[in-house]
């Protein structure tokens, strides 16, 4: 019955039938080829096989019914249009078979060029090219190489070795020195390699080549590195890839041909202008692979003015049409320009802000759209420090600043070693001649990537930019010797484990560790750079977009801060209050002794005197924070951790006691501590005597804290500031717990506050699932809720946070049980549902109830969007994340379509 349904399914679209909105179905590449075709741009004719076909193939392991026929029909029509038949011995039509998913996945999926060549049509191709044998045999050897590698999994190095061998025999290092005979010999060598690895001859039947290539593209969706990239980029696993079949055009037909890539603006800085690389007499993959060194695109003006002018015209048109930075791939075949790809180009974080600002200036987009086009992850990147460069630091090499940032680390030469060292906590720089998709693991593990070949559009550059990783590419003074695990530069040898520093903005490479300096964006946030006066396009763009985000957002942004210094910094970053002030640190340091006294107290007197001694210290802490947050709300959480956390660890105490006894010293105090630690031991401390339970069990503990808060508020207010304390009770699961604490607190507050005008709110964390589920009751006793999403996640999933991430999350991620740790980004369906229930029922019971979140999710972009949707009043996050949360809250407010924030 499934067969019945699919018979009429349309699986193949001619380029003329698609458009750029059909990315889901045609993939990004296919949709944009169609868009360019319909714009009347010179795109070689072809067709796209849909992601639906791919999904059907992957689900059943065979091509869906009707697909083969539809391909046949479209191929025939292509053949008619071109006046050539696929692989025809006299006058062959050749095609490329190209993958292309909804989201661009550079280098992940595979492309096969020159499909349709065989022992006979290679002669026909030569004739087509006016007897250019060299070209024909070069094309054929490329087909066998790409087909072997991507379709039949023949190890790519084998072909590389054979090519190197042919060059060595010829006494050259340049591909172009190989003549037709050399290449014919190389084809024979390639065929033997193919046979050796696959047990069959290289397929001579053009249609079989095509079908096998299409199938291989389908299957590459589930290739290991594609799966890994998707997980990294949070691309859903079930989209599938489309397959594009495109008439071949040839950039390797001689000096009047060539191929290149270009950006309509600088993807590194966002500066306007033409940026690209061009390579004469080459096929497209050569540029991307960085095999030969390219020339800047501007050179093309000299080489082929007509094509250059046409290209510039097309680029301007594309920008206007897409209203964004585009990147393109093109080929010139004997003076005729062909467009092979375009897409809205990837860009660095800085460029994203700068370009969004420029496009607003140019009237192409409005500020809402500009806000939509940047994101919190990019902003976070811009807040990274950069190298501080004094005269002492002389670069040893300069490559291309391919992905900005500053990175120092130990040099490694293989992906495996990068992963190993990173797992040991080392920061590493992965050094390669050029990277390829197999290096992905190493690139993820590394702090930075350094290559000696390739331009801004090489694999290393593109992937690093996508990951926000520092990368210098094409540092060609560096001689990389991977087997020997070393590189040489400027007469020096750097071996594995030596430290180097790379600057992904300038492309400079330094030996040793270079110190870093703060980012300009941070300086702007801190108020030391005035965006109105500074000549810095980035700072101005950030200021403009942040201001718009602030104007649009409905969520307030607070910070988590435990000290006056943190509070002050967060306030400069735009925090509108403190959402979580932990009081635990007030029990540490020189106060440990008092806390020990408190814990060991055997009589009421002993306990009360310990508390009385702690009171003024806490009061001073609060005063400092209230002063810094003058006029803004400060949520103070009463003591939360189990008290034994404030005592020395059991083993250490046991040793101390034993040693002291040996020496015949007085061990009464140590013994008492040891006994207390033993007594207080818990199997599951996170579920034990902590939070509100402490307040209910230890008389006077919460009372002391409440008094310290109220007294500090009154004192600060008397000094002319405005203190807005909010007392937060942790770990409440039942309204009775809160009522008990509240009754005691209110008495103290009333007594301390008197007629000072200070208002103290009392509320609770919602972090125990039962609290979320009984939020209607709890709201009766709470003036605010703050979702503690760390504990809520921990208890909703039954995950012990400190254990599970290292123990088995990798497996859960691998199995796709979740795409990202629920501690990192809120689990909307489960934990999120608890938040929703509590928000709704809490507000129903008490409409003026204030709702916030203070878990680490408060600074996570996706989670911020969720909290906006739920309608919380604020999120609270670490000071450094405050700008990120402001930006994302603004984005959430302007994104009405609910589209993803990627
Ligand atoms: P990727 O997604 O890795 O960029 P592509 O499918 O774009 O892979 O193809 C790889 C290279 O081959 C690109 O440089 C592209 O321009 C070139 N190419 C693809 N199809 C054709 C074609 N029909 N004629 C000439 N070059 C092509
Ligand atoms: Mg491409
Ligand atoms: Mg908690």
Ion ligand 2, residues whose Cβ is below 5 A away: 329, 341
Residue of 78, 97, 106, 285 to mutate, ligand 1, most atoms within 8 A of C-beta: 285
What pLDDT is stored for residue 4 in this prediction?
A: 44
Q: Name the DSSP letter for residue 492.
A: E
What pLDDT is stored for residue 535 in this prediction?
A: 78
Residue of the CA atom closest to atom 20 of ligand 1: 96
Q: Name the DSSP letter for residue 819.
A: S
- Ligand 1 atom closest to the CA of 99, numbered from 1: 6
Q: What tokens does 82 get?
A: 């071109």
Q: Separation of 329 CA from ligand 2 center, angstroms? A: 6
What pLDDT is stored for residue 227 in this prediction?
A: 83
Class of residue 899 by CB neighbours under 10 A (exposed 0-12, middle 13-18, buried 19+): exposed
Ligand nearest to the CA of residue 788, numbered in listed order: 3
448 contacts 504 by C-beta, under 8 angstroms: yes
Total number of residues shown for the chain: 902
Residue of the CA atom closest to atom 26 of ligand 1: 284
Angle formed at CA 200 by CA 161 and CA 289, multiple of 5 degrees: 35
For residue 503, report the phi and psi dihedrals to the nearest 5 degrees.
-110, 110
Rounded to two decimals, what is the model's pTM? 0.79
**Cα–Cα distances in Å, from 668 out to 608, 654, 656?**
22, 13, 12
Nearest to 554 by CA among 81, 205, 90, 885: 885
- Ligand 1 atom closest to the CA of 284, numbered from 1: 14
Q: Separation of 214 CA from ligand 2 center, angstroms? A: 17
What pLDDT is stored for residue 645 in this prediction?
A: 84
Residue of 28, 47, 98, 102 to mutate, ligand 1, most atoms within 8 A of C-beta: 98
What span, in angstroms and rounded, lies between the C-alpha atoms of 552 and 201? 64
**Cα–Cα distances in Å, from 432 out to 418, 482, 535, 597, 643?**
12, 7, 37, 59, 52
Among the listed residues 372, 459, 543, 857, the single catalytic one is: 459
Kindly state the helix (H) or strand (E) to which residue 114 belongs, with its residue range. strand 111-115
Q: Separation of 704 CA from ligand 2 center, angstroms? A: 66
Among the listed residues 326, 854, 865, 868, the single catalytic one is: 854
What span, in angstroms and rounded, lies between the C-alpha atoms of 129 and 137? 12
Ligand nearest to the CA of residue 343, numbered in listed order: 2
Kindly state the helix (H) or strand (E) to which residue 495 belongs, with its residue range. strand 492-495
What pLDDT is stored for residue 391 in this prediction?
A: 65
Q: How far is CA 110 from the centre of its chain?
A: 23
346 contacts 464 by C-beta, under 8 angstroms: no
Q: Mean pLDDT of residues grouped by 10 in the chain (902 residues)? A: 56 96 96 98 98 96 95 97 96 96 71 95 95 94 95 94 94 89 97 97 97 93 82 80 96 92 92 90 74 86 96 96 95 97 91 96 95 93 78 86 88 95 95 86 92 80 74 93 94 95 92 85 89 86 97 97 89 96 85 88 94 96 96 97 86 86 83 87 90 96 97 97 98 98 98 95 98 98 97 95 72 76 91 98 98 91 97 93 96 72 38
Residue of 115, 283, 341 to mutate, ligand 1, most atoms within 8 A of C-beta: 341
For residue 389, report the phi and psi dihedrals to the nearest 5 degrees.
-115, 110
SS3 224: helix
Q: Separation of 292 CA from ligand 2 center, angstroms? A: 17
- The question of whether 459 is a catalytic residue gets the answer yes
**Cα–Cα distances in Å, from 325 out to 264, 356, 415?**
6, 9, 32
Ion ligand 3, residues whose Cβ is below 5 A away: 767, 788, 791
- The question of whether 548 is a catalytic residue gets the answer no
What span, in angstroms and rounded, lies between the C-alpha atoms of 615 and 705? 7
Q: Separation of 684 CA from ligand 3 center, angstroms? A: 14
SS3 279: strand
DSSP lists the bridge partners of residue 54 as: none
- Ligand 1 atom closest to the CA of 283, numbered from 1: 26
Calculate the dihedral angle through the C-alpha atoms of 597, 593, 699, 755, rounding to the nearest 10 degrees.
140
Nearest to 38 by CA among 318, 334, 346, 329: 318
Enumerate residues 6+ apart whose C-beta is below 8 A from 467: 232, 443, 444
What span, in angstroms and rounded, lies between the C-alpha atoms of 179 and 172? 12
Which residue ranges have their beta carbon within 6 Å of ligand 1? 44, 96, 98, 107, 111, 113, 246-249, 284-285, 288, 329, 331, 340-341
DSSP 345-374: PP--HHHHHHHHHHHHHTTSS-HHHHHHTS
Enumerate residues 6+ apart whose C-beta is below 8 A from 399: 450, 451, 452, 472, 473, 474, 475, 476, 478, 507, 509
- Ligand 1 atom closest to the CA of 250, numbered from 1: 25
Q: Separation of 45 CA from ligand 1 center, angstroms? A: 14
What pLDDT is stored for residue 109 in this prediction?
A: 62
**Sign (positive or negative) of CA dihedral 195, 197, 198, 204:** negative
For residue 489, report the phi and psi dihedrals to the nearest 5 degrees.
-155, 135
For residue 876, report the phi and psi dihedrals to the nearest 5 degrees.
-130, 135
**Cα–Cα distances in Å, from 258 out to 294, 338, 669?**
11, 11, 83
Residue of 96, 107, 279, 281 to mutate, ligand 1, most atoms within 8 A of C-beta: 96
560 contacts 876 by C-beta, under 8 angstroms: yes
SS3 556: strand
Kindly state the helix (H) or strand (E) to which residue 407 belongs, with its residue range. strand 406-412
Enumerate residues 6+ apart whose C-beta is below 8 A from 811: none
SS3 257: coil
Phi-psi region of 766 (alpha: psi -120 to 50; beta: other; left: phi over 0): beta
402 contacts 471 by C-beta, under 8 angstroms: yes
Q: Separation of 821 CA from ligand 2 center, angstroms? A: 32
Ligand nearest to the CA of residue 111, numbered in listed order: 1
Q: How many C-beta atoms lie closer than 10 Å to residue 133's C-beta?
A: 18
SS3 298: coil
SS3 734: coil
């Amino acid at each position: 019955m499934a067969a019945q349904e699919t018979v009429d399914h349309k699986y193949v679209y001619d380029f003329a039938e698609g458009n750029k909105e059909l990315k889901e179905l045609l993939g990004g590449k296919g949709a944009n080829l169609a868009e360019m075709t319909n714009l009347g741009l010179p795109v070689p004719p072809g067709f796209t096989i849909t992601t639906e076909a791919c999904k059907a193939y992957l689900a059943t392991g065979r091509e869906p019914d009707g697909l083969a026929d539809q391909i046949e029909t479209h191929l025939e029509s292509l053949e008619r249009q071109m006046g050539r038949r696929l692989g025809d011995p006299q006058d062959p039509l050749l095609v490329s078979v190209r993958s292309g998913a909804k989201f661009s996945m550079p280098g992940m999926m595979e492309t096969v060029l020159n499909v349709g060549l065989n022992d006979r049509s290679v002669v026909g191709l030569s004739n087509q090219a006016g007897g250019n044998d060299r070209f024909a045999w070069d094309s054929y050897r490329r087909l066998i190489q790409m087909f072997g590698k991507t379709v039949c999994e023949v190890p790519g190095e084998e072909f590389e070795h054979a090519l190197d061998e042919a060059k060595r025999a010829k006494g050259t290092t340049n591909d172009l020195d190989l003549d037709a005979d050399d290449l014919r010999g190389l084809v024979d060598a390639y065929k033997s390699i193919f046979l050796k690895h696959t047990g069959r001859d290289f397929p001579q039947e053009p249609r079989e080549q095509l079908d096998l290539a299409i199938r291989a593209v389908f299957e590459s969706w589930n290739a290991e590195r594609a799966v890994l990239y998707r997980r990294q980029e949070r691309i859903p696993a079930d989209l599938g890839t489309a397959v594009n079949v495109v008439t071949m055009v040839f950039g390797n037909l001689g000096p009047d041909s060539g191929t290149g890539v270009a950006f309509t603006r600088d993807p590194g800085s966002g500066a306007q202008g033409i940026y690209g690389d061009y390579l004469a007499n080459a096929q497209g993959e050569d540029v991307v692979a960085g095999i030969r060194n390219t020339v800047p695109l501007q050179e093309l003006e000299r080489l082929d003015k007509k094509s250059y002018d046409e290209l510039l015209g097309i680029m301007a048109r594309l920008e206007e049409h897409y209203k964004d930075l585009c990147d393109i791939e093109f080929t010139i075949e004997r003076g005729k320009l062909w467009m092979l790809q375009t897409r809205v180009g990837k860009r660095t974080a800085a460029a994203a802000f700068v370009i969004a600002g420029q496009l607003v200036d140019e009237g192409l987009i409005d500020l809402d759209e500009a806000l939509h086009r940047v994101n919190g992850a990019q902003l976070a990147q811009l807040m990274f420090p950069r190298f501080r460069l004094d005269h002492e630091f002389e670069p040893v090499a300069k490559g291309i600043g391919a992905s900005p940032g500053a990175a120092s680390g130990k040099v490694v030469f293989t992906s495996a070693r990068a992963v190993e060292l990173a797992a040991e906590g080392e920061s590493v720089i992965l050094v390669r001649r050029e990277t390829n998709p197999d290096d992905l693991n190493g690139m993820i593990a590394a702090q930075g990537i350094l290559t000696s070949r390739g331009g801004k559009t090489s694999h290393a550059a593109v992937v690093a930019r996508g990951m926000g990783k520092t990368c210098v590419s094409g540092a060609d003074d560096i001689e990389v010797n991977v087997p020997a695990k070393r590189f040489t530069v400027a007469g020096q040898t750097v071996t594995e484990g030596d430290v180097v520093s790379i600057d992904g903005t300038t492309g400079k490479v330094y030996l040793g560790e270079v110190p870093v300096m703060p980012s300009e964006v941070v300086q702007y946030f801190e108020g030391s750079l005035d965006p109105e006066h500074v000549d810095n396009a980035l700072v101005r763009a950030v200021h403009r977009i942040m201001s718009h985000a602030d104007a649009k957002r409905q969520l307030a942004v607070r910070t988590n801060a435990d000290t006056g210094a943190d509070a002050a910094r967060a306030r400069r970053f735009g925090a509108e209050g403190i959402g979580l002030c932990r009081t635990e640190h007030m029990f540490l340091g020189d106060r440990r002794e008092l806390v020990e006294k408190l814990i060991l107290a055997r009589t009421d007197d002993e306990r009360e005197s310990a508390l009385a001694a702690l009171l003024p210290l806490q009061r001073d802490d609060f005063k400092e924070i209230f002063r810094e947050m003058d006029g803004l709300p400060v949520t103070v959480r009463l003591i939360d951790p189990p008290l034994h956390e404030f005592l020395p660890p059991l083993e250490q105490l046991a040793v101390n006691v034993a040693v002291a006894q040996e020496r015949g010293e007085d061990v009464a105090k140590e013994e008492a501590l040891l006994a207390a630690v033993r007594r207080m031991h818990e199997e599951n401390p996170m579920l034990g005597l902590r939070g509100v339970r402490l307040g209910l069990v230890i008389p006077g503990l919460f009372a002391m804290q409440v008094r310290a808060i109220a007294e500090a508020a009154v004192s600060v207010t008397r000094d002319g500031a405005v203190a807005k304390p909010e007392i937060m009770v942790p770990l409440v699961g039942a309204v009775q717990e809160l009522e008990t604490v509240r009754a005691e607190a209110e008495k103290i507050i009333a007594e301390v506050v008197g007629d000072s005008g200070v208002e103290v709110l009392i509320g609770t964390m919602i972090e125990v699932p039962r609290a979320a589920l009984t939020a209607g009751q709890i709201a009766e006793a709470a003036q605010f809720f703050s979702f503690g999403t760390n504990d809520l996640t921990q208890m909703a999933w039954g995950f012990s946070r400190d254990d599970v991430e290292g123990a088995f999350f990798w497996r859960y991620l691998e199995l796709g049980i979740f795409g990202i740790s629920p501690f990192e980004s809120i689990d909307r369906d489960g934990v999120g549902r608890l938040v929703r229930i509590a928000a709704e029922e809490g507000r129903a019971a008490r409409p003026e109830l204030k709702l916030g979140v203070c878990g680490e999710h408060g600074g996570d972009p996706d989670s911020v969007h969720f909290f906006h949707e739920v309608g919380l009043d604020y999120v609270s996050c670490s000071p450094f994340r405050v700008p990120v949360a402001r930006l994302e809250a603004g984005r959430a407010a302007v994104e009405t379509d609910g589209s993803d924030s990627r």
